Structure formats: structure tokens, C-alpha cells
A and B are shown apart, each in its own frame.
Chain A
Amino acid sequence: MTALLEAQGLTVGYGAAPVLHDVDLTVAQGSITAVLGANGAGKTTLLRTLSGLLRPAAGRVVLEGQDLRGVRVEQMVRRGVAHVPEGRGVVTELTVDENLRLGGLWRRDRADTKRALDEVYGLFEPLARRRRFPGHQLSGGERQMLALGRALVGRPRLLLLDEPSLGLAPRVTAQIMALLRTLRDGTGLTVLLVEQNVRGALSVADTGVVMSLGRVVANADAAALRDDEDMRHAYLGF
């Protein structure tokens, strides 16, 4: 197993109660890792630190052996890291097509970007039907597709997803999870997934990381986590 991304001793936030405390995490290439935990556990902060929106007070983030210290947020896409933030970040004033194209503007290879765009339209049929619709006219599920598609246009190697199932119907959530599995199997995409929907996340994840109050309290095989009753009761609520 090669590690695509590693967090080493990440501490974020200041003073007596940092938001993240000494977090270690390894994301294996071609795997789906679920980050779970209650509200306030620090999951979103972790993602934002990994993608460079936040600077750690201590520790470091390593991508394929390269320390990401000092790398600006705008550079992360160029290194193959795509972050779909909390709330999806669909730019509601822009159309579906414009949102998708936005995901590929940083690329030099125009031809391949066009191909990626077509692939995304092929993947998400509802988006193809609503190319010219402005973002604010889309439903929750469609917006999730749009955010995901926009990230995929850049052909990332690592996808950071913050609560993709938030506000979505169970059926749509299942579709998204299935899609992630397909992408992992088909293209070797690595996914780091923050989720409140524990069952859904663990159903597709290879590894589960449980956080509580800014620390990692469990890091195990997803199957093992599903089966460990004590762990489930204590941290995952079922």
C-alpha cells in the first residue's frame, strides 16, 4: 500500500483548546477513507488544513512524499488535490456549464479538459440536461453532482469530500456512495470522505478514522469498525 497523503502530528488552532490536536492520518492510494465523528470533532477543520485553507500550528501534511508547507491553496488543484467543501460550494450565480468549466480552467491541456467535461456530463445525466441552468435552480442532489463533477473535471488523484450526503435523500446518498466506489475501482481515485452518515460512509470505505474533540480516537479497517460494537456505541452513535 502506498500512502498518497499523510498528516503528521497536525495541530490546528491556538491556545489551550486547539481544534485539531496531534492528528496522524495516512490515506492509501486508491482507497476510500471515511472520517467520522460527532459535530465539532474537527473533521471539517482537518479537510481545510489538508487542502491548505488553514495553516497548522504544528505538524505537517505530506503528499506523495512532498511536504505541503507553504503551498498556496490555488496550487493544490495542480497537485491533483480536489476539495469539495462543506455546503458544496456551487457558485449559484453561474450556470451548470460554467461551474464545470471552472473546475478545469487551471489545466493547460484544453483537449483533455474538454474530454473530461464530456465524461462528467456522461456520468451525471441530469447535469447534461440542465447545462444552461443557473446554480440556484438546482436541487440538493443535483448540486452535489455538480460539485463532484466540477472536481472531477480537473482529473484529481485525491478527492476531499466534506459531508456530501448532507441534506440529501437516502436514495441519492446511496447513488453518490456507489459512484465513489465506481471511481475508485475504475480510475484508482483516492477519496477522503468526511461524513455524518456513518452507515453510508462505512458501506463504501476501506478505512475508517474516528475523531472526537480534535483527536483521532480510532483508525481501522472499515469492516472492523462496523463490527466493533463498543466503538460504534461510544463514537458513532449506534
Chain B
Amino acid sequence: MDRFVFLTFDGLSRGAVYAAFALALVLIWRATRIVNFAQGAMAVATAYVGYSVSAATGSYWLGFVVAVLGGLVLGAATERVVMRFVDHSSHLNGVVVALGLVLVIQGVLGMIYGNEFRPAEAPFSREAFTVGGIALLSPFDLFVFGAVFIVVVLLAVLFTRTSVGLRMRASAFAPDVSRLLGVNVGGMLTLGWALAAAVGSLAGMLVLPTELGLHPNAMDIVFVSSFTAAVVGGLDSAVGAVAGGLIVGLLLSYVSGYLGATVAPIAVLLLLVVVLLGRPGGLFSRSAARAV
């Protein structure tokens, strides 16, 4: 029972990260009908920069902020310089271009930093508090929950209560009509990518301390897990992304805990297959999401 409680909290903590990452994917999907396959690589790149800054200045938090801001910049740049020019007549063009980006980013990171695992320290202790002899959460877990919660709330407020959010939603739902109403649709698209990438970078900084370390491929499995989370929740649904993230986190935690850590990624694959074949629209979608 102790183990179950511990695994549950651990799973929720991981799940919060997947939720944030899945949100980033859903953001871009809703705005552009592209799944940003480069999201993981972009997050790793900003994490490298963040940790370099931390190492150079001695301040973790400065590096953290730089990483998130770097995400904003990288996301905006990607949209402006690359994605804007993709021919959208085929939905797969965006995927292939994003994959090209993955190769470029991982190649450049490897050239600059090498392919060894680098330490990624956590800003808080990862030792769990014990309550009544049961290990619950660590300070780091609380930090993760808090950070993701704040991000989700901020995004929700942004999108539902601000005029920028209204413009962004209108640009995603009806770009031509929005242009006629004076909305700078192109700018909103760039902003969407920037925000999504920033969220992805935040998620990266939150998850890397729990992984083997910093490495150009470090976010590959996180991407797959988060993609699964987004699919589980329904690519169209932000609420679904959060729910999906928590579900995937819990699943991974239980499988790791009871069957072994190496089996966990296989469980993710199985979940993905089951959802894609059984309920492709996800749990929360409103439309047939499998048809692109």
C-alpha cells in the first residue's frame, strides 16, 4: 500500500510534466493542424542553454528563466523562418519538416556539447517527505505541480479572458474571417508557437532532473509519452491534454514500479495503440480527430 501511494504521487508528478508538454502540442495542433514533432528537441536545446547559463553564473534560476525565454524565441523563430513556408496541402509536410528540425537540433547539440550524459540538477531536493511512515512527495515534486498548475491557469486565463487570447483562438478557428476583421493572423500564429515552445521548455526543465541526464536525445521518450497523452485526451482538447498527461504519468509510474523501469516505454506504446485503435478521438474530443 505504501508503495502504491508513493507510485501514485510520483506518477502524478511525472504526469504533470507530460500534461504541460501535451498542452504545448495541442496548442500548436489547434492553431495549425500540425503536430510539432520537433517539440522535444526544441525543449532539449533550450535546456542545454539554460544549464550552460546556470553553470556559468552559478544560479539555477537564471538558467531556468533563460531556458523558458529561449523557448519563446525558438518557437517564434521556427514559425517565422521555417513552418510559415511549409506547403499545407499535405498534412505530412509539416511532420517531415519538423523531423528535419529534430535532426538539425540534435546534430548541432551533439557537435557543441557532445553526446555524453550531462548532469541536470534539480533546484529542490528529490527526497520525499514522509507522512506517517509513508513517502509522499518531494519538494521537487511540489515545485513541479506548482509550476505546471500556474502555467495551466495562466494559459486558461490568457485564452479565455484576454483579447489576445480571443484573437489567437479566432486565428486558429477561422483565419480568413479573422483577417477580414483586422486580426493579425500571422502574428497570432507566431505567438502561438512561441507560447507552446516556452511551455515545452518549461516541461523540459522540469523533467530532465528526473531522467538520466542532459543528452541530445533525452526528450525523445518524453515526446512519445506526451504525444500519447495528447492523443489520449484528444488532440483538440486542452483539458484532455492535462488529463491525458496525468493518466500517462500514472501508467508509467505503476508499470515502472511493479514490472520494472525498462518495460515502461512499452506500456506507453501499448496505450497509444489501444487508444488509436479504440477511441482515436481521445477521451475529450468533440470531433472525429483521427481523420486529418
Task: Please give the residue numbers on chain A whose beta carbons come within 8 Å of chain B beta carbons, in ascending order.
Answer: 51, 53, 73-78, 82-83, 85, 89, 91-94, 98, 101-103, 105-106, 150, 154
B173 CB–A CB distance under 8 Å: yes
Q: Given the interface contacts A98-B166, A101-B163, does A106 sit within 8 Å of B183 by beta carbon?
A: yes
Residues of B within 8 A of A94 (CB): 166, 169-170, 173
CB pair B182 A78 closer than 8 Å: yes
Q: How far is the CA of A92 from the CA of B181 in the complex (A)?
A: 15
CB pair A101 B166 closer than 8 Å: yes
CB pair B170 A74 closer than 8 Å: no
Q: Given the interface contacts A101-B166, A105-B167, does A74 sit within 8 Å of B173 by beta carbon?
A: no
Q: Which of B170, B179, B182, B184 contacts A91 (CB 8 A)?
A: B170
Q: Given the interface contacts A73-B180, A105-B163, does A91 sit within 8 Å of B185 by beta carbon?
A: no
Q: How far is the CA of A82 from the CA of B174 in the complex (A)?
A: 16
Q: What sequence of 0s and 1s flags, for each residue 176-213 of chain B, a beta carbon within 8 Å of any chain A beta carbon?
A: 11111111110000000000000000000000000000
Q: How far is the CA of A150 from the CA of B178 in the complex (A)?
A: 11
Main secondary structure of the interface of A (DSSP, over half): mixed
Q: Apart from A85-B176, A85-B177, A105-B181, what 10 extra A-B contacts exist at CB < 8 Å? A: A74-B179, A76-B182, A85-B180, A89-B176, A89-B180, A91-B174, A91-B178, A105-B166, A106-B181, A106-B182
Please tell me the number of chain B residues within 8 Å of chain A, measured between CB atoms. Answer: 17
Sorted from nearest, which 3 A-B pairs have the closest CB atoms?
A106-B182, A77-B182, A89-B177
CB<8 Å pairs between A and B, sample of 24: A53-B176, A53-B179, A74-B179, A74-B182, A75-B182, A76-B182, A78-B182, A85-B176, A89-B174, A91-B173, A91-B174, A91-B178, A92-B173, A93-B169, A93-B173, A94-B166, A98-B166, A98-B170, A101-B166, A105-B166, A105-B167, A105-B181, A150-B181, A154-B181
Q: Given the interface contacts A74-B185, A105-B163, does A83 sit within 8 Å of B180 by beta carbon?
A: yes
Q: How far is the CA of A93 from the CA of B179 in the complex (A)?
A: 17
Residues of A within 8 A of B170 (CB): 91, 94, 98, 102
Residue of A85, A92, A93 with most chain B CB atoms under a 10 A cut-off: A93
Q: How far is the CA of A105 from the CA of B168 in the complex (A)?
A: 12
Q: Given the interface contacts A89-B174, A91-B173, A94-B173, does A73 sit within 8 Å of B167 by beta carbon?
A: no
Give the nearest-CB partner of B286 in chain A. A93
Q: How far is the CA of A102 from the CA of B174 in the complex (A)?
A: 12
Least CB distance, B171 to chain A, in whole angstroms: 10
Q: How far is the CA of A91 from the CA of B166 in the complex (A)?
A: 11
CB pair A76 B166 closer than 8 Å: no
Q: How far is the CA of A196 from the CA of B90 in the complex (A)?
A: 35
Residue of B167, B177, B182, B185 with most chain A CB atoms under a 10 A cut-off: B182
Give the nearest-CB partner of A150 in chain B. B181
Give the nearest-CB partner of B186 in chain A. A74
Residues of A within 8 A of B185 (CB): 74
Q: How far is the CA of A102 from the CA of B177 in the complex (A)?
A: 10
Give the nearest-CB partner of B187 in chain A. A74
Q: How far is the CA of A154 from the CA of B182 in the complex (A)?
A: 10
Q: Which of B176, B181, B184 contacts A102 (CB 8 A)?
A: B181
Q: How far is the CA of A51 from the CA of B178 in the complex (A)?
A: 13
Q: How far is the CA of A91 from the CA of B182 in the complex (A)?
A: 15
Least CB distance, B162 to chain A, in whole angstroms: 11
Q: Which residues of B, 140-172, contact A by the 8 Å Cβ criterion?
A: 163, 166-167, 169-170
